[in-house]
Structure 1
Amino acid sequence: MKRIHVYSHTHWDCEWYFTSNESIIQLIYHMDEVIDALENEVIENYLLDGQLSILEDYLRFAPSNFDRVSKLVQAGKLIIGPWYTQTDELVIDGESIVRNLLYGIKSANKLGGHMKVGYLPDSFGQTKDLPKILNGFDIKRSIFWRGVAKDICKNREFKWNSEDGSSLLVYNIKNGYFYGGNLIYNDDIDAVEETILDGSATENILLPVGGDQRYVDFNLKERIKYYQDRTKNKFEYVESTCEKFFEELEKEEDLLEVEGEFISPSNSKIHRSIYSSRYDLKYLNDKIERKLIHQLEPLMVIAQNMGLDPKTEMLEEIWKKLLMNHAHDSACGCNSDKTNRSILSRLIEADQLAYSAYDYIVRKISESLENKEENNLILFNTLSVSRNENVKVVLTTKTKSFEIRDENGNLINYQVLGKVREYAGSIKKDESLYDENLYYYVWDIIIQCNLSPLSIEVLKVNEIDEDMLEDKINTYEIEDNFYKVSFVNGKINITDKFRNKTLENCLYIEESGDDGDTYDYSPPEKDIRYNLTFEEAVCESTVGELYKELRLSGIFTVPSNLEDRENGVINTEIPYELKISLCDKAVVECHLEIDNKAYDHRMRVVFKSDVISEESLTDTPFGTIRRDNIPAHIDDWRELGWREEPSPIYPMLHFVGIEDEKSSAVMLAKGIKEYEVLDNSKIALTLFRGVGFLGKPDLIRRPGVASGNEFRYIETPDSQLIQKMKFKFAIVLDNNINIAKINKLWKSYSVSVPNYQVQEINRFTNTLKYFVMHPLKEKLNKVEGIVDSDNLKDIVVTSIMPIDKKSYSIRLLNCNDSIESAGEITVNNGSSYQWINMNNRELSEKVAIDGAIDIGRFNKGEVKTLKINI
């Protein structure tokens, strides 16, 4: 006897080829039907797609139904959570995934509780870290659809383990969240039950009856009886829930155990190149994630330790604005143009909120410091490690020159990158009427800093009324303590000074056609690829003691469209500027700006290393993973009937590297989410893909029906990205890849130092500076070393965030093998600590802080969270 657990649900994409504003109207009426059906017992229960955002949207338009909804949730009839939105798992930061669950569960519990199943029915692949993330929220069960490889796991039911010992009991709805709809509209019972049995190895089978924006099936009970009366198998059909199903499944023994990520297209489409669709959206999302996780949240903890309210409810609302863009379609950009415009608008709004909160806190603290003086320059280290590095800041002075000193009167070394003369008075048409006394200078400078972990540093800017000498040097070679970069005969050469190795002609742009859609890259039938070099570039330079830069500017010429490409016609100019800079940060920074004017093409930056490796190493939400450069079944996937090519095109979050016995090469990135290793030695980062349709059929890499809406072409001219774009990446050369070291380099490279100058002549240093502000009544003392993780051994701090007014959390990740003693973390101003899970549930008793905290043993890949009580 097999028990068929039928659960009624809807899969509700908030947006896709339609916008969220268009779908909300259907949701409002849909939810009325759901509530009526549950209250009248037409159906026993209903799963609202595992995401809270749609329920919050409904209650925003129908607040009078709050009590009815809450009553149904408490009764276990309306099943909600645990997610806030149906997150993508492969291009979203791990801490963002944690916030998704944190705020989803919090919102669900206000209504009466959440489903303790990690329900992600449509994400385009599953990260290997999901077991440890879900376990961090006391969730031990998971349901998903895409990514499981036929040759690794043939059964629907299995145990999915992470390297740290975390584990999930999984049911794979490998025929899709919509397959159970056949129970409603298909009378061919034998054919339906044959598919139901496929891959089912236990006594219990889960059957999802629902679909995209699926209405309530009022005849569900009738159809269950119809199937029960006519089944030729030993089937018992029951109206059930996911949690009831798992209660039965847990009784099963000898389930297959697997580990790793699920990104195989053997059973379902994975869209192995969707990571580069709508690069502009991914870049902005990455920027906001970095600002929230590595700047705003730690700034709130600094403020909290100085007695200020961290405003956790405000933080939650900013996060929710960002999380609305993390649903799988939204994060990946496979939408109509009007939907992507809505996503862009929300991202801009989240960016403005995050920046304004960040700016306000920095200014409020700076203006309230004890012994504050005019022209104080206040620097904030939002990382828990020391920052002894060169930092970019903007200064304002009335004079033509200045000096900077620390609190002990020592001169601080700096370098001027540029200056602009501005006017502080009322603007007039006739500038000859301006008062010379109201002019001032805005300086872009690099300053040499030694910042303690999670601290505030106060410097003094002394104005000097004399002309500053500026040396102008034009060179084709720059050098710092780590690297030498030269531009010789149109070729970029990089020398690793520690290993005394030079990589010649090591950077170029690969230009190819793209006959795909917003889901997938697809090479044209007749593609011509071009390796675009910098031979015709004009080279300018900036050379100083602290900062060196080569600027290469020129024009790439490419075919205008697929027809021109097929005919070998090169007729479109793409202006570019590539800045390569050295700043004694142990990385070679690259900033490429292009003005795209061509259609249906892909551009990748390729770095040619001297490393030979058959696999890559990249970061995942809470760990790293090694992937084969040549995937299994790359040559016979068609014969095997796979849904798409298992391409060696992979997702990344912040870095990708290759290493051999002698050396390593790593590329860091801000917002670039896709890579491929070519010839086992070249790292190719996809800069962007420009395409013109939401979905297209019969692609070379993805045969068959169109992805998305298979019944019509939906044009997306905005997704051609005919616009100016910037791409930021960096190169690291070393003997081997040390993950903790790479993480530290990435943060040094990608997380800027918040700063504020106490001055009044320039009221436009930021948007809020124009408004007046009261300093705090009680003056603040400077803080330093609030959290000091300098002494940790191979442990990464992934976040420091406020929990409430009197406590905050520190999340720690071991990216290496097991560590018996991971070192100590120092906390100033903390009264006690305790271990908690990701949902802030206490796992240990409070321990008084007396000196450093010994964080003890870590399993391989383990994540731990400390709660510090102030």
Structure 2
Amino acid sequence: MTKKKVFVISHSHWDREWYMAFENHHMRLVQLMDDLFDLFENDPNFNSFHLDGQTIILDDYLAVRPEKRAELQHWIDVGKLRVGPFYILQDDFLISPEANTRNTILGRKLAEKWGQPVPLGYFPDTFGNAGQVPQMMRLGHLDTVAFGRGVTPTGFNNQTGDLGDYDSTYSEMYWQSPDSSKVLGILFANWYSNGNEIPDTKEAAKAFWTEHLAAAEKYAATPDLLFMNGVDHQPVQKNLSDALALARELFPDYEFIHSNFPDYIKALKADLPKDLTTVKGELTSQATDGWYTLANTASSRIYLKQHNTATERLLENHTEPLMALSGLTDAANQDRLTYAWQTLLQNDPHDSICGCSVDEVHRGMMDRYARAQQVGHWLGDAALTKLANKIDTRNFPGESRPFLLINNSSVPQHDTVNVTLEWERAPFTAGKPNALYAMLEEKRQALGDFHVIDREGKMIPAQVVDTQVKFHYDLPDRAFRVPYMGLYITVAVAATVAAHSWAGFALVPGTGHPQVASDQEPLIQNDALQAQVTADGSVSITDRRQQQTYDHCLRFVDTGDVGNEYIFKDVANDQPIQAGPAKNLTRTVTAGGQTLAYEQVLRIPVSADEQLAVEQQSVTDITERHAQRSTQLADLTLHVTLTLPAGSRQLKIHVAGDNQMRDHRIQALFVTGIQSDHHQAESIFEVVTRPNTPGKQWENPEDPQHQQAFVDLSDAQKGVTVGNFGLNEYQVLPKTGTIAVTVLRCVGEMGDWGYFPTPDAQCQGPFTGDLTVQLHDGSRTDTLAAWQTARAGQITVDVQQLPVAHEGALAADHTYLQVDNPAFAITAMHVSPDTGDVLVRGYNMTSAPQDVAVTYQGQAPDAVVDFLEKPIVGVSVNTTLRPAEIRTYRFKQVGAND
């Protein structure tokens, strides 16, 4: 009889930062690596160590032990250390599609510099798995994944014969994306620690292997049994060779192999049966009681998510497109861009971006966001300067100050943009700074009226909002700094800029549009929408095209939260508290649109009661907590601004406050009344359809979900799309057809396996939230328009002052990218650092095949490529997109400077 093979893989799941600050874990990592080197040197029977699928660990070690680089390379070369394929172990849902992609690309490149990457998509502890992971892995040249959550193994002795959508007979299965891409999936059915701390004494070893072999055999589809020898931050088991020798002696019917993933996967594939289950789409533990899906990490420390979105939008929708358009594509600047991406990705591990670590971790993240943004702005500014010097401005009057507005989104932008222009400069070489300041200040006070014109000389709605004299300086690339005083004029410009286009304008002296009008009317409107603040402080929204009104649609409510950073836990018998009537209401009307600003008060408990501290310190399970809210109340004032640009169908909502309360949650509720059994939300390279009611096993009264840019609730006649900026958690309340988006969540402990206080997670202090609403008629065309507009709501218009009367090769108005099908959502436009080619990536937002044509600078792409820029066999630029297909178009070295 053929022996079953027991593949033991040594590893340590290495959260870089979690229940201790980064450097605390870092120092333990150095010890782990030192121990590994010693073990490799002295135990020839120790096969190898799996370095957790993330190459950043190598950099972390060398930061302390740079002299060990050659030895590190040696152990990788001989196969003792197994590295890659990712840069970090990310959270799938809380980072953008592009951040997921760059993690794969950067990890692969770095791993290949060291050696052969492990051929395995590795997701051991991800808090849910995105439905497009199989397709993303295929595009990254990986056909096998390992993961720990989302699927329930039933065992081959399951007698029901009726597997659910998220059940698998075996711990091995196929996993399929919506586009039909399929990979082999390995579920850690007994977790990624089922072979941890193997005993080396007879009695203990006999008991260990008797139990653990049976547990593995219960689910394994083949005679190849996987045992993961390690767990979170686990030191290497130095006596493993002795422990396995003992296991061979005690269990002679098994072949015990200290192994590695490449060898295990090869053996597994050779032995796979034909009856493997195929699971489809996202795996978020839908078929559980709902308490430990960890989806509420989407609302922990929302300020992190907002900074993350801001940094992603900066790099993806500003820095990279501007570098491509300007030709700022040299190797030195590409290296700077890579550094920015790596800095951002260092915030993307699941315990970091999920906001479920101790306070010191998340303070460090804020520094990384700041640094990544500084680099992104530096590169973007350099690109804008380079692009500006190519724009022809001779059509504008000589006394004007021309400028450029650049829209890198996929829909026309109608927002009013504040543009600050240098009207006059006085260099320090011309006199003393204070005298120059006084001279320009006198000129400032004598300034007359101004208006804004486009390239054809047509007046554009605009208004001067500020004038100022201030110090500034230039930093030439190859010369000393140049300080000066400048006279600056800030003008609010209400211009429409076409999708993927730039448009030139100029500020010129002369009377412009009428001044702003203000009153206290509680209503704003344009041709498409109307929003009215009602007596109870809620907002009714009307689609004026359809004459469809959603009464009392928007309201803000507060509830108690006695949970932790992982899980929201409501208070028994707690009634949501709605914000009060609108106060201090001001409506502002300009040629560019209308705004409505007002205040609402939430009178809420200051915290939970004293019982919560007892339950936290005693590590009482989240489901067994009985703490209530304090009887002491205080006011939390919400400052709300509704904005409706002229010509736009999107209502923008901004809310701000100063939170001094604890243990609570604020949600924005959008009450639609739409009755449907499902809704749709943007996820990772997918608009996913999710049920409005969880499965029969669900016990959690909440059903939290993840989103990227929007969530949509519709029927055949109407729909509501709610967009957001960094507000990744929502749920749908099916009885009232309500979309509830979390704006603020405040808790005082980390949670999980002990008591770790996190006072910063109470999010006390100023906070903001930004949302959008667009109404549609339920048709494919109108729905796609709403989705694209919601995505564009996260992208601001770039501004750049242009030289006066300048002869340039590029027109002041120009569309650089054209997409003929709104079903295709652009996620990236950047230059390949390897080839200089322009890459445009996106995905099919629909569940139907789509034909799409994409042109860049008037040229068609030459190939469709994968994430590693290899042409995809059998797919041409004209091939119809599969449902939810991710596609990257390659344009051979086409730039705005060509």
Determine helix, strand or coil for the equivalent of 1:321: helix
> What's the CA shift string for 1:59-84, capped at 9, x where partnerless?
23223322222233233321111111
Are 1:84 and 2:87 matched, yes or no?
yes
> What's the CA shift string for 1:164-201, capped at 9, x where partnerless?
12111011112221221142475213122222223223
1:735 to 770, 777, 783: 777
Residue of structure 2 in register with 1:407 after alignment: 455
Deviation at 1:845, TM superposition (A): 11
Distance 1:793 1:664, change over 3 A: closer
**Are the aligned partners of 2:393 and 2:802 in contact in 1 as well (CA < 8 Å)?**
no
Residue of structure 1 in register with 2:737 after alignment: 681
Are 1:282 and 2:308 matched, yes or no?
no
Structure 1: state its 5+ residue gaps: 427-437, 638-644, 696-706, 761-774, 847-852
Which amino acid is the alignment partner of residue 317 of structure 1?
A: Y
Partners of 2:341 and 2:657 lie apart in 1 by 31
Distance 1:467 1:780, change over 3 A: closer
Partners of 2:565 and 2:575 lie apart in 1 by 20
Deviation at 1:783, TM superposition (A): 7.6
**Are the aligned partners of 1:146 and 1:262 in contact in 2 as well (CA < 8 Å)?**
yes
Residue of structure 1 in register with 2:156 after alignment: none
Deviation at 1:631, TM superposition (A): 0.8
Q: Which moved more, 1:124-133 or 1:474-483?
A: 474-483
Determine helix, strand or coil for the equivalent of 1:613: coil
Partners of 1:276 and 1:390 lie apart in 2 by 28
Distance 1:353 1:132, change over 3 A: same
**Are the aligned partners of 1:401 and 1:467 in contact in 2 as well (CA < 8 Å)?**
no
Write out aligned runs for 1:111-150 (5 A). 111-150=114-153
Write out aligned runs for 1:447-466 (5 A). 447-451=494-498, 453-464=499-510
Deviation at 1:646, TM superposition (A): 8.4
Are 1:574 and 2:617 matched, yes or no?
no
Are 1:108 and 2:108 matched, yes or no?
no
Deviation at 1:568, TM superposition (A): 6.9
**Are the aligned partners of 2:407 and 2:497 in contact in 1 as well (CA < 8 Å)?**
no
Distance 1:469 1:218, change over 3 A: closer
Deviation at 1:328, TM superposition (A): 0.5
Write out aligned runs for 1:256-655 (5 A). 256-264=277-285, 266=288, 269-304=292-327, 311-367=333-389, 369-371=391-393, 375-383=401-409, 385=410, 387=412, 389-396=414-421, 398=444, 399-411=447-459, 413-416=460-463, 419-424=465-470, 442-451=489-498, 453-464=499-510, 469-489=515-535, 490-524=537-571, 526-563=572-609, 566=628, 569=631, 571-583=633-645, 584-634=647-697, 645=700, 647-655=702-710
Deviation at 1:674, TM superposition (A): 0.7
**Are the aligned partners of 1:27 and 1:58 in contact in 2 as well (CA < 8 Å)?**
yes
> What's the CA shift string for 1:357-377, capped at 9, x where partnerless?
222321332255455776111
Identity %: 22
**TM-score normalised by L of structure 1:** 0.88
Are 1:230 and 2:250 matched, yes or no?
yes
Residue of structure 2 in register with 1:849 after alignment: none
**Are the aligned partners of 1:633 and 1:646 in contact in 2 as well (CA < 8 Å)?**
no
> What's the CA shift string for 1:6-52, capped at 9, x where partnerless?
11111111000112122222222321222232344351111100001
Residue of structure 1 in register with 2:853 after alignment: 824
Which amino acid is the alignment partner of residue 581 of structure 2?
A: E
Which amino acid is the alignment partner of residue 181 of structure 1?
A: N
Distance 1:420 1:130, change over 3 A: same
**Are the aligned partners of 1:796 and 1:813 in contact in 2 as well (CA < 8 Å)?**
yes
Write out aligned runs for 1:3-14 (5 A). 3-14=5-16
Deviation at 1:130, TM superposition (A): 0.3
Residue of structure 2 in register with 1:641 after alignment: none
Distance 1:10 1:786, change over 3 A: farther
Are 1:68 and 2:71 matched, yes or no?
yes
Deviation at 1:379, TM superposition (A): 1.7
Determine helix, strand or coil for the equivalent of 2:643: strand
> What's the CA shift string for 1:443-497, capped at 9, x where partnerless?
351322343x544332221123899744334422111121011123244211111
Partners of 2:661 and 2:803 lie apart in 1 by 46
**Are the aligned partners of 2:222 and 2:273 in contact in 1 as well (CA < 8 Å)?**
no
**Are the aligned partners of 1:276 and 1:672 in contact in 2 as well (CA < 8 Å)?**
yes
**Are the aligned partners of 1:415 and 1:547 in contact in 2 as well (CA < 8 Å)?**
no
Which amino acid is the alignment partner of residue 362 of structure 2?
A: N
> What's the CA shift string for 1:91-128, capped at 9, x where partnerless?
11111100001111111111122111001111111111
> What's the CA shift string for 1:583-612, capped at 9, x where partnerless?
132111100101111111111110111311
**Are the aligned partners of 2:301 and 2:355 in contact in 1 as well (CA < 8 Å)?**
yes
Q: Which moved more, 1:614-623 or 1:533-542?
A: 533-542
Distance 1:111 1:595, change over 3 A: same
Determine helix, strand or coil for the equivalent of 1:529: coil
Partners of 2:199 and 2:526 lie apart in 1 by 69
Partners of 2:125 and 2:667 lie apart in 1 by 28
> For this pair of structures, how many residues does the alignment match?
809
Deviation at 1:657, TM superposition (A): 1.3
Partners of 2:703 and 2:471 lie apart in 1 by 59
**Are the aligned partners of 1:136 and 1:838 in contact in 2 as well (CA < 8 Å)?**
yes
Partners of 2:763 and 2:262 lie apart in 1 by 44
Partners of 1:737 and 1:719 lie apart in 2 by 42
Partners of 2:703 and 2:264 lie apart in 1 by 37
Are 1:50 and 2:106 matched, yes or no?
no
Determine helix, strand or coil for the equivalent of 2:761: helix
**Are the aligned partners of 1:617 and 1:627 in contact in 2 as well (CA < 8 Å)?**
yes
Partners of 1:93 and 1:466 lie apart in 2 by 42
Distance 1:390 1:727, change over 3 A: closer
Deviation at 1:748, TM superposition (A): 2.9
Deviation at 1:222, TM superposition (A): 1.3
Residue of structure 1 in register with 2:226 after alignment: 206
Residue of structure 1 in register with 2:871 after alignment: 842
> What's the CA shift string for 1:228-284, capped at 9, x where partnerless?
22128x422111111211112212122111102111174994313121111111111
Are 1:180 and 2:224 matched, yes or no?
no
Residue of structure 2 in register with 1:749 after alignment: 793
Distance 1:647 1:570, change over 3 A: same
**Are the aligned partners of 1:543 and 1:549 in contact in 2 as well (CA < 8 Å)?**
yes
Q: What RMSD, in angstroms, separates the aligned Cα atoms of the two structures?
A: 2.9
Structure 2: state its 5+ residue gaps: 154-163, 424-443, 473-484, 611-626, 894-898
**Are the aligned partners of 1:369 and 1:779 in contact in 2 as well (CA < 8 Å)?**
yes
Deviation at 1:440, TM superposition (A): 5.0
Which amino acid is the alignment partner of residue 725 of structure 2?
A: K
Determine helix, strand or coil for the equivalent of 2:282: coil
Residue of structure 2 in register with 1:32 after alignment: 34
Partners of 1:840 and 1:457 lie apart in 2 by 32
Deviation at 1:758, TM superposition (A): 4.3
**Are the aligned partners of 2:862 and 2:877 in contact in 1 as well (CA < 8 Å)?**
no
Distance 1:257 1:164, change over 3 A: same
Deviation at 1:212, TM superposition (A): 1.8
Which amino acid is the alignment partner of residue 25 of structure 1?
A: M
Residue of structure 1 in register with 2:102 after alignment: 99
Partners of 2:569 and 2:60 lie apart in 1 by 37
